[in-house]
Structure 1
Amino acid sequence: MFLIVLFVIGITAEGATGALAAGRERMDLFGVAIIACVTAIGGGSVRDVLLGNYPLVWVENPIYLVFVLVAAFITVAIPVMMTYFHWVFLILDAVGLSVFTVLGTQIALGAGHGALIAIVAAVLTGVFGGVLRDIMSNRVPLVFQGDLYASVAVSGSILYLALNAAGVNDNLNAIIVLAFTFGLRLCAIFFHWSLPVFEYQEREFTRDREHSLSNRLLNKARELRPAGPRQLRITEGIAGLRHRHHGEEPGASATGEDPRTGGRAATEGDVEKECGCDCHGQGDGDTQPKPGE
């Protein structure tokens, strides 16, 4: 009976917080009712579906839906007053989390499941209603980024399992876990305890084509490649142009390597750059000066 009373208090508080979340998203009354019910009894419903525990709690006891809807519509009627009861809702929410943790663990153990499934059931019961609320409100669930919440349910469930294995009476076990979970949640709220946050941001890498390794290797290969017939003809054209315009350049190698081009064979672009005019012709063989010039 004691747990049932606390359960009603918990779903009532969750229904009010669900209504406030719907109001922040400017939902109509139907949306308010849905969000409030999902917040209050969604976690227990998911747990029962996964564990095959039928009928669902609110189907077997429709009065729970009435409590949730009444709390939601009272919140809609006096939304201004909700600001003054902020801490009250946090405390009632901590009560609800404690009760949901104990009930989830007890139901899983009563169905013959092991310790791991009992912990999962406790987390689903205590947390998943809020997760569904935030997802339906198009927000990142608060339990994924705020103060300790799901971890509180895990800790409470582990404590319950440990005391149960030690042979502690079920009623005494429930009271101890309720007090522990409630106190841990309040400490997390007041002292802002939270889990470490993982942050990852995609970095944009820009490729410098001029100084890339592949481009440097390609340029080196071009420098080391022996000059072909075409490059030799171009080199002869450059020599003739130098003789006409600037005179013979000292230090030019007989192999066609030009000191001004870094020791590599000259190209057509070097002809244009060196000459500064369009006198090198259009074809491969028009590198010599035209007759009559």
Structure 2
Amino acid sequence: MTTKMLLSLLLHCFCVATTASIPSGGLGLPGAGSGESLRPERPYFDDVSPRNVSAVVGQAAVLRCRAKHIGNRTVSWMRKRDLHILTSHIFTYTGDARFSVLHPEPSDDWDLKIDYVQPRDAGVYECQINTEPKINMAVMLNVEDESLTPATQAPARSSAAAATIWGSQDVYVKKGSTISLTCSVNVHSSPPSSASVLWYHGNSVVDFDSPRGGISLETEKTEGGTTSKLLVTKAALTDSGNYTCVPNNAHPASVSVHVLNGEHPAAMQTSNRASSYLTSQLSCAAVTYLLSSMACR
């Protein structure tokens, strides 16, 4: 019994010593390794791009974002001033067609492009990766007034290239209905882009992300050129005014929109004609009275 106990004790010591001598990475078998080596690298921003970007009104701005080791995670762009998500992956989540993502496969670049920069675009934008917790990188966009910068050469416009807005030069719509304006350009945009046609309401670019909401743009390439359709739902009296279709390579076109508060334009025209007729009749009566008075004298 003593011999068996001694052999058992020696065998136990041998196993403990052997186990202690094995590296923590395993027995060297294929596929074996430490937990650290199998853990995927965490995403991070390759911070080599400028955090301050300047652009001139009317030109394009590109905000750079290079995200490494994102795996199955998503890269998004957010506008800081209103916390509006502009893009997610390669998709755009804004009605403003000036915004798009530049992501050449299979690069790590997820750049935000803003065509035809406006003063209201100035501010902080964040490139985000949906990790837990979320990580982000802020980029500041500065917009310079073109009147304060040296003149740049404008895109060449052919004298024959012009925009045309369908229908009458005066558009009448009832309050609460939809304003629908279609602009045709007899040349193709270069490069093709839904932002190749801008719409102005008065002196301001139509803001598709304004709190008003209900404004959208549809741009279509046809054999004859480009067609841009502006839709403004639930028209209000403040939506009245001059609307201008401004292509980037052709002459613009304008229409005047009148939002009516229950009054039909035909009634307005009839009323104006009746007023003119009454005025002319009164004038004739006055002349006749004066002539008759002079004759009696």
- Structure number with greater Rg is 1
Confirm or deny a common fold (TM above 0.5).
Answer: no
Instruction: Give the TM-score taking structure 2 as reference length.
Output: 0.22
The structure carrying a bigger strand percent of its residues is: 2
Pick the structure with more helix per residue. Answer: 1
